[in-house]
Every structure is written in C-alpha cells, then in structure tokens.
Structure 1
Amino acid sequence: MTTPAASGATTAARSRTPPLLDSLVEDVREAVGRGLLPDMTAQLVAERLAPFLGAPGLLTAEQREGDPERYRQHVLHVERDGSFSLVALVWLPGQRTPIHDHVSWCVTGVHEGVESERRYRLVSDYATARLVVTEDVLNLQGAVSGFAPPGDIHQVRNAGTSTAISIHVYGADVSRLGSSVRRVYDTPHGEL
C-alpha cells in the first residue's frame, strides 16, 4: 500500500471561478445538503453534474493545463464545511492512476476526451487477498458515474491520443487530504 499523496500533481484554483462553475457548485451544494446516504448522494450529484459536461466556459485555461509527468489535479472548489470538493483531472495521452479506492463517495464525469476505467473486486480467503477485474468501461465525453465505498476499487487512464479532462466531486475536503485516494493497491490481480 502506498500513500494517497502518490497520486497526480495538485493545483488549487487561484482566480475567480467562471459563472458556469459557480452554478455547478450551487447544484452540488443543494444535492449534498439533503443529507442522504452516501450512495444516494453520489447518484443525485451525478444527475447534477451531467448537464455541465462538455460545456464551454466551465473551466479556465489554467484549469485545463496538464502535466507531462502525470495526470494533474486542479482543485476547483472545496465547500467551507468540507462536505464536498470539486476537482478537474487533466490527463495527457497514456497517463493513468494507480489502482485505488476512495475515502468517500465520488462522482466522475468526462468533460472532454475519453477515459478508460478498469474496475476491481478484492477477494480474500483470510490468508491472502487479490484483486479480480470485474469490468472494463470506456467513458466518452458526457459519461457520468457515481459510487460509494466499499466496492469502489478502480484504475483510470487516458487511452486516447488527445488530452482528456474529467470533473470529480468527492464527499471530502481534498484541500486538507491532498487527494480522494484512501488506498493504493499493489495486490496481485487476475482477470475475470
């Protein structure tokens, strides 16, 4: 297991947010404010995020910048009470996450490009543990998914030839944590 800090480079939003991003924050705030169970919150937030994906003007030029070394995390908004964070992840071709899970519910949506996701299940016989691939998903622009732990182990990568950008909403304060990653898995894994 490695630490969450091993994930992509992080930047914080420094300038005034675009009005469209302010609208997204308001919609997410309303959904999170209902105080529903984590999986229900994730589904509601996914519904709120979907209409914003692909919209011009959602992100500033700075928030669309990648990093040649690894995928880049731009923190777009952290709610004052730490109840949620919005993040843009920018992926250059071939960049990927390690296999990981999350500290909280999570919603992801592809804003631009294509992301490939491999989902896993942890199988244990109390003596050993291994990861088993459960599904491979190709997420095109506009694709949204929401989930909550447990059962949120996956790896994401940009399998395309151009930059991919995804918007992530986490039920945690990523400015304090540095990442939404709870655990990085180096456990041996097998196919379906």
Structure 2
Amino acid sequence: MTTTTPARTTARMAALVSEIRTVVDRGLAPDLTAYLVGERVAPHLGTPDLLTPEQRVGDPDRYRQHVLHAEPDGSFSVVALVWLPGQETAIHDHVSWCVAGVHEGQESELRYRLAPATGDGCARLVATEHVVNGAGDVCGFAPPGDIHKVYNSCRTTAISLHVYGADVIRLGSSVRRVYTLPTD
C-alpha cells in the first residue's frame, strides 16, 4: 500500500469532514459511531467533486492509500483507496472502528472469524461471508470481529472512501494485525 500525506481538499470533502466531526465529537460507542458516520458518507459517494484528480491515481504494484484528512486530535482519518484490477489486502483486522464506502467500481470483501485451536493445536480462520459492494454501498464495523480481506473484483479501477477512528498518519495504517493462519 502506498500512503501519502493529506493533500488539497475539495469543498465537498471539507463538508463531509465537518459532518464526520459532528458525529465523532458525540463520543458514542464505536459501532454506533461507525453506523452514523456511514450515514454521512453515503450521500457523497459517486459525486464527481469529492476527490481531486490526484486523489484518484492508483499504483501499478499495490492498492494506493491517499490520506484526505487526519483530525488534529487523532480521533479520525479519511482516506481514499484506489484499487487497480486484482489488487487486494492481506487478511487483517483494525485498530479502531471503520466505515468503507465504494465511490467508484466494485470492492469485494471476505469476512472471517477466528476459530479456536483444534486437535492439531492450531487456530484457524473460518470464512463467514463474501460481500460484493458496488458504487454507493457503505459498510461499517468495529473491533472485535472485524477480520477481513478486501480486493478489487471488477475489471476497472475501484475507488473507496474509508473513515477510521484513528490517526492513520501517526499510526502508518489502520491495520492492527495481519493474519497468516490457515483458512477454511
């Protein structure tokens, strides 16, 4: 993943950040915060004035993360992820609540649960759901139970907007842990 520092913000993105700040400042439970932030993100998806041309550029080697905003107090960050066909994440979970909305294209997600060790003494990941999100779709979640793998499942560039309840510039990523366990 390629990460950039916050770039120029569009007027629409500035308005969305303000809406997100109003929700986050309420100090609600993480799952409720994710739900309410998702409601604010949805109307902005697919609009031509949300991202600058530079924020829509991918990377031929891996999906690219454009940091659009990091709240000064560290309470949330907004990023655009640009996925070229076939690009994907590792199986991972997160340090905080998260909202993902598809701005353009299609993003697929494989969700997992951690199964306890069996007779062989090895824990496993069990796939629980395969979700395909198209333009305008939004999902939100909060740890624990947020283990997944995300990938571009379409033949064109996919762009998604992600809001994390953490400062991804300071942390370097929203990922808490990458899983290399066997999967069922």
Aligned-partner Cα distance in 1 for 2:6–2:156: 23
1:48 maps onto 2:58 in alignment: no
Aligned-partner Cα distance in 2 for 1:40–1:147: 9
| 1:129-175 deviations in Å (ceiling 9; x for gaps) | 10000000010000100100000000010011100000000000000
Corresponding position of 1:5: none
Indicate if the aligned counterparts of 1:46 and 1:146 stay in contact, CA closer than 8 A: yes
1:153 maps onto 2:147 in alignment: yes
Corresponding letter in the other structure for 1:145: C
Corresponding position of 1:137: 131
Indicate if the aligned counterparts of 2:6 and 2:70 stay in contact, CA closer than 8 A: no
Size of the aligned set, in residue pairs, is 182
Local SS of the residue matching 2:14: helix
1:175 maps onto 2:177 in alignment: no
Identity, % of aligned pairs?
A: 66
1:25 maps onto 2:17 in alignment: yes
**What is the RMSD of the two structures over their aligned residues, measured on CA atoms?**
0.9
| 1:6-36 deviations in Å (ceiling 9; x for gaps) | xx11112333x11000010000000101100
Structure 1 unmatched runs, 5+:
1-7
| 1:105-141 deviations in Å (ceiling 9; x for gaps) | 0000000000111000001137321000000001000
Structure 2 unmatched runs, 5+:
none
Indicate if the aligned counterparts of 2:117 and 2:124 stay in contact, CA closer than 8 A: no
Normalising by structure 1, report the TM-score.
Answer: 0.93
Indicate if the aligned counterparts of 2:113 and 2:128 stay in contact, CA closer than 8 A: yes
Q: By how many angstroms is 1:71 displaced? A: 0.1
Corresponding position of 1:3: none
Write out aligned runs for 1:68-147 (5 A). Answer: 68-125=60-117, 127-147=121-141
